[in-house]
Amino acid sequence: MNKDITIHWHGKNYRLNMQEATPVGIPLRAGHQNPNCYWAEPPRFETIRVGDFVGSVSEGGSCNYQKVTLTPHGNGTHTECYGHICDEPQATIAHCLQAGWWVALLVSLEPEKQTSGDQLLTLRALKESMKKLPDVPFEALVIRTLPNTTAKLTKNYNATNPPYIEPALAEWCARHEVCHLLVDLPSLDREEDGGKLAAHKAFWQYPQAIRRHATVTELIYVPDALADGLYVLQLMAPFWEIDAVPSTPLLFPMKELET
pLDDT of residue 125: 98
Phi and psi at 73, nearest 5°, equal -70, -20
pLDDT band at 3 (very low <50, low <70, confident <90, very high): confident
pTM of the model: 0.97
87-109 pLDDT tens trace: 999 999 999 999 899 999 999 99
4-44 pLDDT tens trace: 999 999 999 999 999 999 999 999 999 999 999 999 999 99
Angle formed by the axes of helices 123-130 and 167-175, to 10°? 50
Residue pair 84/234 in contact by the 8 Å Cβ criterion: no
Residue 1 predicted with pLDDT over 70: no
* All structural domains of the chain with their residue ranges: 4-37+71-256
Let me know if domain 4-37+71-256 sits in CATH 3.50.30.50: yes
36-92 pLDDT tens trace: 999 999 999 999 999 999 999 999 999 999 999 999 999 999 999 999 999 999 999
